[in-house]
Amino acid sequence: MRLKNSTPKEDYKIMVVDDEQGIIDSLTIFLNKYHIQGFTNPLEAIEALKHENFDLLVLDFLMSPIHGDQVVEEIRKFNSNLYILLLTGHKDLAPPLETIKRLDIQGYCEKSDKFDQLLLLIESGLKSVEQMKTIQDINKKLEKTYADLEDAYRGTVETLRLAVDAKDSYTKNHSDRVSYYSVLIGKELGLSEEDIRTLRDGGLFHDIGKIGIPDSILQKPGKLTDEEYDDIKNHPSIGAKIIAPAKIFNNILPIVKHHHERYDGKGYPSSLKGEEIPLFARIVCVADSFDAMTSDRSYRPRFTLVKALDELENCKGIQFDPVIVDAFVHALRENMETVEKDLNTEFIHRNDDNFSEPATISK
């Protein structure tokens, strides 16, 4: 049975559940400064809680057809935050302390002709509810502020990424193509959508550290000196430092830092070997190397498609993970027309060799 209420004075909603009508009537009068809704049937109360929001529940323990602890058991299946006070005819009839803790019942009170103690517990409970709401509101505002900061930081890093591509006309759109190839490999390996998104972002930002490398080195037409090559080798670590402060980039940090590791352990910056190298970094390594080989560089013209794939094949187990190379080659074979269309290239038509049956690459 659901009871109508008088106009409340304070903006809190309290549910009272007791199978004795007189208790509900008394509490409704005693608590008339709040929004009060009373139920004599605990099953109806459970249904009401599924569809309405209440700040606090005052609940009798010994009821029919189910007891108060059983009511809370059902409520906690869909509402873990409701503040609950349990009423007992006598404290010896209250449920065990272990049950009260397990069900997160915030307090209990013995029934009495005087409701002073209950009122104190209710007012204390409502203060806790209000504090929790305040904390939740603050957290939401902080989350929004943090999201805005992350968006701004991501925008800044995106600008830096584009600046890296713009530093060298030979590698224009390089990071976009590396991202594309990395996704192609990830799909061929059957990775999850979340992993595919990580590869997409990792490919886009893998060379962000080159913003810290002088143009005179990046665009040098001839062979680099040992000192210049050492400078180039710093760009993964520089990139990792750039993106590390933003939590949104945590998942691509291993890609940025380790995409120049080699399968034989002779790469940089950490000389990782084999599967010590993060999987996504191994994938981007293959994609990055392939795009570098099939792009015109300041120090050499681009490779033909077959020559680039031969190079990947020859370096399996040395520079590249063999499984990833095989996956990439297979994915290219199966999707060549789509790849050419997506990247606006003519891989097949700018090669003297027939890619459909290259001698050194097995299907």
Query: Are residues 219 and 130 part of one domain?
Result: no
pLDDT mean over 161-167: 73
Give residue-wise pLDDT tens across range 10-67. 688 999 999 888 888 888 888 888 889 999 999 999 999 999 999 999 998 888 899 8
Structural domain harbouring 268 = 168-343
339: in domain: yes
Q: Is it the case that residue 361 has pLDDT exceeding 60?
A: no
Query: Are residues 180 and 293 part of one domain?
Result: yes
Q: What dihedral do alpha carbons 57, 60, 66, 72 form, nearest 10°?
A: 30
31: in domain: yes
Give residue-wise pLDDT tens across range 283-294. 999 999 999 998
Contact 59, 85 (CB under 8 A): yes
pTM greater than the 0.75 cutoff: no
151: in domain: no
Query: Are residues 193 and 118 part of one domain?
Result: no
354: in domain: no
Q: How many CB atoms sit inside 10 A of residue 187's CB?
A: 16
Give residue-wise pLDDT tens across range 116-126. 788 888 888 88
CA nearest neighbour of 320 among 284, 363, 269, 358: 284
Question: Which tokens hold the place of 244?
Answer: 């590390």
Q: In the prediction, which pLDDT does 48 show?
A: 93
161: in domain: no
172: in domain: yes
- Amino acid making up residue 301: P
Tell me the three state secondary structure of residue 99: helix
**Domain CATH code at residue 25:** 3.40.50.2300
Last residue of a domain, one of 138, 157, 184: 138
Tell me the three state secondary structure of residue 36: strand
Which residues does residue 110 pair with via DSSP β-bridges, in sequence order?
88
Instruction: Give buried/exposed letters for 101-136 (b at 16+ CB in 10 A, else e).
Output: eebebbebbebeeebeebeebbeebbeebeeeeeee
Tell me the three state secondary structure of residue 358: coil
Tell me, yes or no, if 210 is annotated catalytic: yes
Query: Are residues 248 and 127 part of one domain?
Result: no
Query: Are residues 339 and 221 part of one domain?
Result: yes
Which residues does residue 16 pair with via DSSP β-bridges, in sequence order?
38, 58
Q: Give dist(CA 169, CA 166) in Å, integer.
A: 6
Tell me the three state secondary structure of residue 119: helix
Q: In the prediction, which pLDDT does 275 show?
A: 95
Strands 13-17 and 35-39: parallel
Instruction: Give the relative orientation of helices 174-188 and 322-343 as an angle to the nearest 10 degrees.
Output: 120
- Using only the alpha carbons of the chain, give its radius of gyration: 33
Q: Which of 13, 210, 220, 341 is catalytic?
A: 210
